[in-house]
Structure 1
Amino acid sequence: MEYKVVRKQENSKKCLVCGLQNDLGLKASFYELENNELVAIFKPRDEHQSYPERMHGGIAGAILDETIGRLVMMKDPQQFGVTVELNLKYKKPIPLDEELRVVARLSRDSRKLLEGTGEILLKNGEVAVTGWGKYWKIPMGEMTEFDPEVQEWKVNLSPDDPVKIDL
């Protein structure tokens, strides 16, 4: 089913998952959809390998963790989700050099905590990894000395950004 993109989320400079200037990073883009799901789009490269031609399981955990945790930002873009707990189930190997999608959805939301689920989808739509996570909501300025300008924390629009995403 196809869903309209309602907002693209910010990227940073050096984050392993979303950092656009991190040579070893995933350079993932995050899109909020009209159905209240969050989708990350990324393409793992050789640097993300474990077994030949396969993405490392830790990298799979990192992209799922980031995507589920970013659900916090859908309600309040000035907050981060800090991981309290993350559980993963690996179902299929993840190839390199293919555009992949991670879908996350909210399960539970309270004043201080958020819980969500997500999965990494292969190009053919099969689920490669599923995840469940619990995140502490914290304002950006309280977590670290976060300076959005220094971190280049901004929405980087591109003509290649999708207006609809098929899931």
Structure 2
Amino acid sequence: MTYKIKQTQNISRGCMVCGVENDFGLKTRFHVTEENEVIAVFTPRQVHQSYPQITHGGITAAILDETIGRAIMPLTDSLAFGVTIELNVKYKKPVPYDVELKAVGRITRNNGRIFEGTGELYLPDGTVAATAEGKFLKRPLEKFTSAEFIRNHWFTPDDVPEEISIQPEDDHES
């Protein structure tokens, strides 16, 4: 499936998931589709390993958590995030490192301050490696950080794609 991208979300400098200056971070980019889903694009590295050649399950949980939590942003007028109340992850396949991976998250229920969402982590061939569902508290960014952070450390990256493709499992060539 090919998703048309309407916006790329801001990232920060130090975050473990999106921080461009965090040496051990994932340096993830988050893009909003025309359907208001969020797609995360990242490449885990050996420093994110658990078993040999496998990305740690905590990294899988973190990327799904952040992707679903960010899915509220296109639906609000302010810089609002989802602060995790509950997250349930189901691991289906080992997740390799040193390959580009994608996660997709969406809102399934929005009750004002509390919202729920689901997401999937995809391997390069379109196989679903993990799924998650969660419940989040909607919090404006200014409630848990400073104006200085928003001014100097919260920015839109330069690499903004027009489309992102995820090859569905049933589209594989024989």
TM-score class, shorter-chain normalisation, is over 0.9
Corresponding residue for 2:165? 166
User: Alpha-carbon deviation of 1:105?
Assistant: 1.3
Cα deviation digits, residues 53-86 of structure 1 (max 9, x gap): 1000001100110000001111224111100000
Partner-residue secondary structure (3-state), 2:150: coil
Q: Which of structure 1's runs of 4+ aligned residues deviate more than 4 A?
A: none
Partner of residue 92, structure 2:
91
**What is the rounded CA distance, in whole Å, between the counterparts of 1:29 and 1:11 in structure 2?**
7
Query: Which deviates further from its counterpart, 114-123 or 137-146?
Result: 137-146
Residue 60 of structure 1: aligned partner: 60
SS at match of 2:59: helix
Q: Show structure 1 runs of 5+ residues with no match.
A: none
Which residue number corresponds to residue 10 of structure 2?
A: 10
**Aligned 1:25-104 pairs, distance under 5 A:** 25-76=25-76, 77-104=78-105
Check if 1:21 corresponds to 2:21: yes
The total of aligned residue pairs comes to: 164
Name the CA distance, whole Å, in 1 between partners of 2:158 and 2:111.
31
| Preserved contact between residue 36 and residue 71 of structure 2 (Cα < 8 Å) | no
- Aligned AA for 2:165? D
Match in the other structure for 1:105:
106
- Choose the corresponding residue for 1:149, options 145, 148, 151: 151
Percent identity of the aligned residues? 48
C-alpha contact 2:120 2:131 (8 A) present in aligned 1: yes
Higher alpha-carbon deviation: 58-67 or 74-83 = 74-83
Q: Distance in 1 between matches of 2:3 and 2:61?
A: 25
Residue by residue over 1:2-29, the C-alpha shift from the partner in whole angstroms, topping out at 9 and shown as x without a partner, is 1210000001010000001000000000
Match of 2:127 in 1: 126
Instruction: Tell me the secondary structure at the aligned position of residue 129 of structure 2.
Output: strand
**Residue 44 of structure 1 aligns to which amino acid in structure 2?**
P
Q: Give 3-state SS (helix, strand or coil) of 2:12's partner.
A: coil
Measured in 2, the distance between the counterparts of 1:83 and 1:32 equals: 20
TM-score, scaled to structure 2: 0.90
C-alpha distance in structure 2 between counterparts of 1:59 and 1:11, whole Å: 18
